[in-house]
Amino acid sequence: MTKEVMLAFEKYAERNTNLKGLDWQIEELCHQCFNVEYHHKVFHHYNFTVKIESPSSSDSRVALFFAEVKEIFGRKYYFCCPLEPNENGQCYACHNQGVDDLRHPATGGYDRGSLDIAFPFTFMD
């Protein structure tokens, strides 16, 4: 699972010019939630921290990130973004499994799951 988080963050870092020239390392995998809503819709949500340092100074900071690894019909898709200190978007999939400590982006960009599906594969009335 740590490899999936690393790959999601690496894809984010490739697109983010603010991280160019900085050293970073994943510090801690804080929370995770694995979701299977249908046989063709599987996704995994993660919260993790990254230590970011400038090689030219001793300054460093630790940032909290969210990542989603989604598999649809055998193909994986990655989404990753930093979270603000009080940011916590809605996710029915994680909430329905009781994983309420896992934080999500308020702006979306990830699969929130279905309101009426609970783990494992039961519809809630």
At 57-88, the pLDDT tens digits run 788 899 999 999 998 888 899 999 999 999 99
Residue 124: burial class (beta carbons within 10 Å; 0-12, 13-18, 19+): exposed
Name the residue type at position 64. L
Residue with tokens 């300054």: 59
Give the domain ranges of the chain: 2-123
Q: Which of 41-55, 58-72, 105-119 has the lowest mean pLDDT?
A: 105-119
* Per-residue model confidence (pLDDT) at position 21: 83
Mean pLDDT across the chain? 88
- pLDDT bin (cut points 50, 70, 90) of residue 51 is very high
pLDDT of residue 117: 63
Average pLDDT over residues 10-17: 92
Of 9-13, 15-19, 35-39, 48-52, the least confident: 35-39
Question: 27 pLDDT exceeds 90?
Answer: yes
Pick the CATH number of 2-123 from 3.30.70, 3.30.67, 3.10.450, 2.10.260: 3.10.450
Q: Transcribe the chain into DSSP letters.
A: -HHHHHHHHHHHHHH-GGGTT-EEEEEEEEEEEEEEEETTEEEEEEEEEEEEE-TTSS-EEEEEEEEEEEEETTEEEEEEEE--TT-----HHHHHTT-TTS---TT--S----TTEETTTEE--
